[in-house]
Amino acid sequence: MDITSQLALILRGADELLVESELVEKLKSGRPLRIKAGFDPTRPDLHLGHAVLMAKMRQFQQLGHEVVFVVGDFTASIGDPSGKSKTRPALSREEIDAGARSYAEQAFKILDRGKTRIEHNDTWLGGMKFADVVRLAGKYTLARMMERQDFKMRWERGDAISIHELLYPLAQAQDSVHLVADVELGGTDQLFNLMVGRDLMKENGQRPQVVMTTPILEGLTAREEDAPEGGKRIVGDKMSKSLDNYVGLTEPALEQVGKLMSISDPLLWRYVELLGPIVDMSDHAWNKADPRAEKLAFAEGVARAFHGAEEAKKAREAWEKQFTRKERPDEIPEIRIEGSDPVTIVKALVASGLATSNGEARRKLGEGAVKLDGETTIKDDKHVLGTGRHVLKLGRKWAAILV
């Protein structure tokens, strides 16, 4: 592919590229470029938010470049302060190791296994001596570090900033120095860290990496609102497992479909735009007049990307059976309640997870939202379940209780 065509593909879906002329020069060299992106294993699962960045990594692979997936098993112990209003709690070594093992395997849900180099930054950062860290810190000033927006805001509010947080961008930058990266990819919230990488590479006599950012994928609860400058915009927290607004890459296909069917109609088109390189919908004719049908088609596409066509089709059919035709699902989670005390309907609702508290259970009973064995509406919160198997339905959720 010629340079112009490569650049057009690389820029598609990107947010910012610094510096384009440097990337063109690197591409003209004709050698495969080293593309680096880091992922701190702070949680055990990768999700669709990570997939936006990984889609760009895969595009570089398709162009014949070398992709380095950096598992930040050392930087995770510091905690990336990007976008954080307070110091992140430290993770245990066990948590980090479990996440690191999981990330390395999940990466191949999107990336080409044969063209991906997995590196763990504890390999080079973990062996640094205190003198090495002091020398590294001496290559950047506090004034420049405090130009970072989240640090600046926390300082102005009088919120604590720990010294180790100031070291995080330098640790990430040292990854680029060690790997001699040509390009580093990251979300828009990573721009400061990526630019520190450029500076540190110059300090070490290397050609600075080109920096490319990709948009942040909003979580499932994001909504559309009027923009101050006119028109509409999507607002909401970024996709995050800690906020429970995510779709995991390894979640069962039915869960992926169910979660995606919960998003707002405007958010669907945002997902279609950002996840297009991963979710192949090239044969689908979109009809914006029927967003529910389009949402279901896209949800099946996501499940197909990570579980294959057969599992995706089954998930779609199961979702339609349960929520469109309102039939009882083929598989209902079962919960056994042990003990000699009578099992009231309230206790059963909470134990099954259909209600989060006794108060919510009583409220739903009063609203007539609870059905027993799929038929009988139960309103009496003193109702006792006899010995045996009972099927409860609350809204669109089902559970089987074994007493």
Structure confidence by residue, pLDDT tens digits, 20-51: 999 999 999 999 999 999 998 877 788 999 99
User: Average pLDDT over the chain, rounded to whole?
Assistant: 88
Contact 378, 345 (CB under 8 A): yes
* Nearest to 183, CA basis, from 8, 32, 13: 32
**Model's pTM, two decimal places?**
0.74
Cis peptide before 183 (omega within 30 of 0): no
Position 129 pLDDT exceeds 70: yes
Residue 205: CB atoms within 10 A of its CB come to 7
Strand partners for 116: 67
Please name the residues in contact with 76: beta carbons below 8 A apart, sequence gap of 6 or more.
Answer: 40, 41, 42, 91, 96, 99, 100
Position 323 pLDDT exceeds 80: no
Integer Cα distance of 150 and 148 in angstroms: 6
Q: Which CATH superfamily is domain 3-214 in?
A: HUPs (3.40.50.620)
What is the structure's pLDDT at 43?
76
Identify the weakest region by mean pLDDT among 64-68, 130-134, 251-255: 251-255
Contact 82, 240 (CB under 8 A): no
At 138, is the secondary structure helix, strand, or coil?
A: coil
Percent of the chain with pLDDT over 70: 95
246's tokens? 């995510």
Q: Does domain 223-324 have CATH number 1.10.240?
A: yes
pLDDT band with cut points at 50, 70 and 90 for residue 324 = low
168's tokens? 């995080």
Q: Is 256 exposed, middle or buried (0-12, 13-18, 19+ CB in 10 A)?
A: buried
Contact 282, 258 (CB under 8 A): no
Domain ranges of the chain: 3-214, 223-324, 334-402
Contact 173, 139 (CB under 8 A): no
Identify the weakest region by mean pLDDT among 89-98, 130-139, 236-245, 310-319: 89-98
Q: State the angle between helix axes of 130-137 and 163-179 in degrees (0 to 180), rounded to the nearest 10.
A: 90
Position 327 pLDDT exceeds 60: no
Contact 312, 254 (CB under 8 A): no
DSSP letter for each residue of 21-37: HHHHHHHHT-SPPEEEE
List, for residues 343-354, the tens digit of each pLDDT value.
899 999 998 888
Integer Cα distance of 309 and 315 in angstroms: 10
Contact 285, 87 (CB under 8 A): no
Which architecture does CATH list for 334-402?
Roll (3.10)
Tell me how far CA of residue 378 lies from CA of 281, 301, 371, 383, in angstroms. 44, 39, 6, 8
What is the structure's pLDDT at 191?
93
Task: Name the most confidently modeled range: 81-85, 91-95, 196-200.
Answer: 196-200
Q: Is 292 exposed, middle or buried (0-12, 13-18, 19+ CB in 10 A)?
A: exposed
